[in-house]
């Protein structure tokens, strides 16, 4: 039998996904030229838009950077057991709630952007700790060596200027209470496009962040002030960057725990679910920000790039780790595929496991159970019949089965009648 290849594909749901996935995609392609990259919801000339690829793939290895989006979308296309999902991070700020949510458990494997992320997820989900690996942050190198951009001077002030970076959740009235000065640019999250126009500022510029303008604006800046967004930590590698933490700037349902932004809290400035705290000497509140924008010296506040802090939050991309991990996963899948002797084995095996669960335990198999027994069937050196009997016995001898009135003896004839014949002929 000729060797079967596991199909590798990268899926981007927004532009920042693409920025994170592209370096790894290019690295994987050196070893696997058949790897695919496509986008959902936006168009890029170098992205493969052949969505039909996923419909025909036998068992794709899918690499994505938006866990919620990718799982919701894939549910429409394929059953969950029929692909292997790998996560890559598209934002490096570890403060927002989604960065430590159970959404990460939807990944079969996840390459964390820093040791801090990896250790936090391992602490939160110890039973799944083998899913989490250090991969580095794909966009870490984007702002390391910024060169002033002469081409976009039309959108920039003609004098040395400060940039203030805000993430999603900024209050409109909070923005317009900040200084109106010729040498200040307020760089906003794309969601803030809804703010009232014309802006009340007569001198400051308000610009919505985009791939086209952000690098130009930041590369020419004298200083950067930013909240706890990914861009703040990214730019701090090359620009003098000051961190803003002030709860009064944001809407009520801002996606960061109030305790992190409350100076009176014992969790102030802590990265959630870790023991790592940003020292107060790195932090500006709104009053200090206003004073700095008016030209007052920052005597007692240090820029982020004045300390090891950035190496903790943001880890340079280690493409070899991600690439080797993806290739290893694909090779493991190919070994399993090589052992499958019947064309419909996987489908039949799943039906067999589902049938066994219904009759012995009276319920559908949970995802972990389904994966466990599929792996057992796919990797067992025994015959299909022996492997199936082992699964039946294991289920029947479980504590859960012992609590049920239906015995294994009662279920056995039904199991034999209900078993898909394709599975028995493997």
More confident residue, 183 or 2: 183
Average pLDDT over residues 314-340: 77
pLDDT at residue 404, rounded to an integer: 81
Q: Is the pLDDT of residue 56 over 90?
A: no
CATH number at residue 201: 3.40.50
Strand pairing partners for 110?
87, 132
Judge if 146 and 196 occupy the same domain: yes
Judge if 261 and 384 occupy the same domain: no
User: Is residue 1 domain-resident?
Assistant: no
User: Is residue 258 domain-resident?
Assistant: yes
**Encoded tokens for 74:** 């894939």
User: Is residue 87 domain-resident?
Assistant: yes
Q: Is the pLDDT of residue 188 over 70?
A: yes
**pLDDT band (50, 70, 90) for residue 425:** very low
Task: Look at the chain and report how many structural domains it folds into.
Answer: 3
**pLDDT band (50, 70, 90) for residue 386:** low
User: Is residue 167 domain-resident?
Assistant: yes
Judge if 292 and 209 occupy the same domain: yes
pLDDT at residue 424, rounded to an integer: 35
pLDDT at residue 164, rounded to an integer: 97
Pairing between β-strand 205-208 and β-strand 36-39 as defined by DSSP bridges: unpaired
Average pLDDT over residues 324-345: 74
**pLDDT band (50, 70, 90) for residue 146:** low
How many CB atoms are closer than 10 A to CB 174?
A: 15
pLDDT at residue 46, rounded to an integer: 44
More confident residue, 200 or 335: 200
User: Is residue 92 domain-resident?
Assistant: yes
Q: Is the pLDDT of residue 54 over 90?
A: no
Q: Is the pLDDT of residue 335 over 70?
A: yes
CA 80, 86, 87: angle at the middle one, nearest 5?
115
What are the backbone angles phi and psi of residue 199, rounded to the nearest 5°?
Answer: -65, 145
Q: Is the pLDDT of residue 137 over 80?
A: no
Judge if 15 and 126 occupy the same domain: yes
Judge if 69 and 146 occupy the same domain: no
CA distance 389 to 366: 20
Closest C-alpha to 34, from 60, 52, 14: 60
Judge if 270 and 368 occupy the same domain: no
**pLDDT band (50, 70, 90) for residue 249:** very high
Q: Is the pLDDT of residue 418 over 60?
A: no
- Which of 72-81, 92-101, 350-359 has the least mean pLDDT? 72-81
Burial code (b: 16+ CB inside 10 Å, e: under 16) for 192-202 equals beeeeeeeebe
Judge if 274 and 225 occupy the same domain: yes
Judge if 100 and 203 occupy the same domain: no
* Residue 29 burial (10 A CB sphere; 0-12, 13-18, 19+): middle
Q: Is the pLDDT of residue 185 over 90?
A: yes
CA 116, 319, 104: angle at the middle one, nearest 5?
45
Question: How many Cα atoms occupy the beta-carbon half-sphere of 188 within 13 Å?
Answer: 22
Burial code (b: 16+ CB inside 10 Å, e: under 16) for 220-250 equals bbebbbbbbbbbbbbbbbbbbbbbbbbeebb
- Which of 342-351, 353-362, 415-424 has the least mean pLDDT? 415-424
pLDDT at residue 39, rounded to an integer: 81
Cα torsion at 193, 196, 199, 204 (round to 10°)? -40
Contact at 8 Å (CB) between 377 and 391? Answer: yes
User: Is residue 2 domain-resident?
Assistant: no
Give the distance, in angstroms, between the CA of residue 350 and the centroid of all CA atoms in the same chain: 29
CATH number at residue 32: 3.40.50.2000
pLDDT at residue 309, rounded to an integer: 60
Is the pTM for the entire model greater than 0.85? no
Judge if 208 and 309 occupy the same domain: yes
User: Is residue 45 domain-resident?
Assistant: yes
Q: Which of 203-212, 244-253, 326-335, 373-382 has the highest mean pLDDT?
A: 244-253
Judge if 104 and 232 occupy the same domain: no
More confident residue, 90 or 127: 127
CA distance 238 to 219: 9
User: Is residue 3 domain-resident?
Assistant: no
**pLDDT band (50, 70, 90) for residue 421:** very low
Read off the pLDDT of residues 257-289 as tens digits, 9 standing for 90 and up: 999 999 999 999 999 999 999 999 999 999 999
What whole-number percentage of the chain has pLDDT above 90?
31
**pLDDT band (50, 70, 90) for residue 308:** low
pLDDT at residue 415, rounded to an integer: 42
CA distance 423 to 355: 13
Q: Is the pLDDT of residue 161 over 80?
A: yes
Average pLDDT over residues 102-127: 89
CA distance 41 to 49: 10
CA distance 286 to 179: 11
CA distance 302 to 305: 8
Average pLDDT over residues 236-264: 92
Q: Is the pLDDT of residue 45 over 90?
A: no
Judge if 147 and 294 occupy the same domain: yes
**Encoded tokens for 122:** 């391992």
**pLDDT band (50, 70, 90) for residue 1:** very low
Last residue in a domain, options 303, 333, 363: 333
Judge if 356 and 272 occupy the same domain: no
pLDDT at residue 59, rounded to an integer: 78
Read off the pLDDT of residues 35-44 as tens digits, 9 standing for 90 and up: 998 887 655 5
For residue 22, give its domain range: 8-138+317-333
Q: Which of 196-205, 243-252, 310-319 has the highest mean pLDDT?
A: 243-252
Strand pairing partners for 88?
111
Last residue in a domain, options 298, 333, 368: 333
């Amino acid at each position: 039998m000729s060797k079967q290849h596991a199909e590798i594909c990268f899926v981007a749901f927004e532009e920042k996904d693409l920025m994170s996935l592209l370096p790894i995609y290019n690295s994987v392609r050196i070893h696997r030229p058949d790897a695919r990259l496509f986008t959902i919801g936006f168009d890029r000339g170098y992205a493969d838009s052949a969505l039909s690829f996923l419909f025909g793939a036998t068992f794709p290895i899918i690499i994505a950077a938006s866990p919620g989006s990718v799982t919701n979308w894939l549910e429409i296309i394929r059953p969950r057991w029929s692909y292997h999902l790998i996560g890559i991070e598209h934002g490096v700020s570890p403060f927002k709630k989604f960065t430590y949510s159970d959404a990460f458990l939807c990944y079969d494997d996840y390459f964390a952007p820093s040791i801090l992320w990896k250790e936090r997820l391992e602490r939160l989900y110890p039973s799944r700790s083998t899913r989490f690996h250090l991969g580095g942050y794909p966009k870490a190198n984007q702002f390391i060596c910024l060169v002033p951009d002469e081409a976009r001077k039309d959108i920039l002030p003609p004098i040395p200027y400060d940039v203030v970076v805000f993430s999603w959740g900024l209050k409109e009235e909070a923005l317009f209470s900040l200084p109106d000065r010729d040498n200040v640019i307020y760089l906003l999250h794309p969601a803030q496009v809804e703010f009232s126009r014309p802006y009340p500022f007569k001198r400051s510029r308000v610009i919505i962040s985009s791939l086209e303008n952000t690098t130009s604006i930041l590369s020419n800046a004298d200083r950067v002030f930013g909240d706890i967004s990914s861009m703040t930590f990214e730019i701090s590698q090359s620009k003098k960057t000051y961190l803003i933490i002030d709860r009064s700037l944001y809407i009520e349902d801002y996606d960061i725990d109030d305790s992190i932004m409350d100076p009176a809290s014992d969790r102030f400035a802590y990265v959630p679910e870790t023991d790592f705290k940003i020292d107060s000497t790195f932090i500006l509140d709104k009053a200090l920000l206003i004073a700095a924008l008016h030209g007052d010296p920052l005597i007692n506040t240090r820029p982020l790039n004045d300390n090891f802090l950035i190496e903790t939050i943001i880890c340079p991309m280690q493409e070899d780790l991600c690439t080797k991990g993806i290739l290893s996963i694909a090779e493991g899948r190919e070994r399993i595929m090589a052992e499958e002797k019947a064309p419909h084995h996987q489908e039949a095996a799943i039906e067999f496991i589902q049938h066994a669960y219904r009759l012995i335990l009276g319920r559908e198999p949970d995802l972990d159970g389904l994966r466990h027994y599929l792996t057992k069937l796919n990797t067992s050196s025994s015959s299909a019949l022996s492997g199936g009997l082992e699964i039946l016995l294991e289920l029947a001898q479980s504590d859960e089965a012992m609590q049920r009135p239906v015995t294994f003896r009662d279920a056995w004839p039904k199991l034999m009648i209900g078993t898909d014949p394709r599975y028995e002929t493997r």
